[in-house]
Amino acid sequence: MEIISSYNLIIEASVILILSFLFNGISKRTNIPSVLMLIGLGIGLQYLLRSVTSDEIDFFPILEVLGIVGLIMIVLEAALELELKKEKLIPIFKSFSVALIGLLASAWAAVWILQSFIPDMSTESAWLYATPLSILSSAIIIPSVEGLNKAKREFHIYEGTFSDILGIMMFYFLTGRLDPSEGSGLFGFGGNVVLTVVLSLIASYAIILVFQNIKTQVKQFLLIALLLLLYALGKKMHLSSLLIILIFGLVIANMKIFFQGKLSRLLNYDKAHQIYHELHTITAESAFVVRTFFFVIFGITIVVSSLFDWQVALISSLLILSIYLIRLILLMIFVGKDMLPQLFIAPRGLITVLLFYAIPVEAQIESFEPGILLFVIIGTSLIMTFAMIYDKKRSQQAIQKAQSRKVDNVRWKAPTVIEAESKTK
């Protein structure tokens, strides 16, 4: 049976996208992350492919391309969500602190666990494997927290976004230490970051000023193509390419802050804001498509049998336990006692998988079971699901209790002036 043909590919891709859309609807109703359903679909397709053909299909080149594009789209989508306002400074500081300290502490704990149970795991390799396992998935968090109150929802959006960006930077800093051409050490990395920031700001201002004057309606994919080009050129020049995407997203999302004084005269805010609005929509749509195919293909490529290995289960369980212990301490410090369901919203997802496949060959460890990755992703997603369902039930019970209480009407009586009259007499 010929599976990879023009019409078959169109049918297969269309069915997967339709199912992904349905999974999103189910996710909103049940709080079960659509990512789990997509991985499950991929696993089902894996067994279906084995039953209809004996040919081995190499999905890793597709996974790599989807990974790069997905990484860019996720960072851009996250950056477009960040509003730099004075009243948001404290929530931003708290979420940034939890994201940064949580990333470093979780990675350190994961390094200790991996080195304890995988004998040939070197320190450098352990840090490269631990970093993806320590990054929150904003791709799962953002659509999952829509039902929370505004303060909690904003905390999770900021925390997930910062965790993605900081985790990616940390990962590429670690990989840069393996490649002398990219500059080793904090000094070289710091210089690289400063140069990238300067070039990114110049490019961002130029792109916005040029694109606001383009009259044709078909320009959003031209803009995305330009950002992809800048990312690829940045990689060739050994720059921190994701900073280019992040800074452009921050500039276009906060134009009134970045275009002040004489620069404000050059900006046509209405036209530029329209570009931002359209870009936000197209980025979200593109991220949805990339995320769909990435997790389905990931499900097709994973070895399900590794989930039933006792060592995989033990290592994964310890990693999950360390994640929530560290999170408990951090939320007690920065959030306080009201930490439900925030405590259990710490899923791992797309970024974890993307960076896992980006680990350099020289740092890869053959004895590391990819099942650990899948176990942690499924485990943290299920824990989040149960926490969200519990919180939803708790909120509904509180509303029902409030509605059940009768509000009595009290007849209003005018105040008497007897005491005042007696004094005058």
Report pLDDT digits (tens) over 360-398: 888 888 888 888 988 898 899 889 988 888 877 777 676
Task: Report the alpha-carbon distance of residue 174 to residue 185 in Å, rounded.
Answer: 9
Please identify which residue in the block is written with the tokens 């039953």: 51
* C-alpha distance from residue 142 to each of 37, 149, 152, 284 (Å): 17, 13, 11, 11
Predicted pLDDT of residue 323: 96
Q: Which of 246, 227, 241 is nearest to 74 (CA)?
A: 246
Is a pLDDT exceeding 60 seen at residue 417?
Answer: no
- Exposure string over 79-93, b if 16+ CB within 10 A, otherwise e: bbbbeeeeeeeebbe
Would you say 223 and 211 are in contact if contact means Cβ atoms under 8 Å apart?
Answer: yes
In tens, the pLDDT along 225-253 reads 888 898 888 878 777 777 888 888 888 88
Which residue ranges make up each domain of the chain? 60-406
* Token code pair at residue 219: 């320009």
> 78 pLDDT band (50/70/90 cuts)?
confident
- Rounded to 5 degrees, φ, ψ at 127 are -65, -35
* Token code pair at residue 326: 């560290």
Identity of the residue numbered 180: P
User: In CATH, which of 3.30.160.110, 1.20.1530.20, 3.40.50.720, 3.30.70.580 is domain 60-406?
Assistant: 1.20.1530.20
In tens, the pLDDT along 325-366 reads 999 999 999 988 878 888 999 999 878 888 888 888 888 888
Predicted pLDDT of residue 97: 93
More confident residue, 184 or 96: 96
* C-alpha distance from residue 365 to each of 68, 203, 271, 305, 351 (Å): 22, 39, 51, 19, 20
In tens, the pLDDT along 270-329 reads 888 888 888 888 888 888 888 888 888 888 887 777 777 888 999 999 999 999 999 999
Task: Report the alpha-carbon distance of residue 67 to residue 320 in Å, rounded.
Answer: 24
In tens, the pLDDT along 83-141 reads 777 777 888 889 999 999 999 999 999 999 999 998 888 888 999 999 999 999 877 78
* Token code pair at residue 41: 């679909």
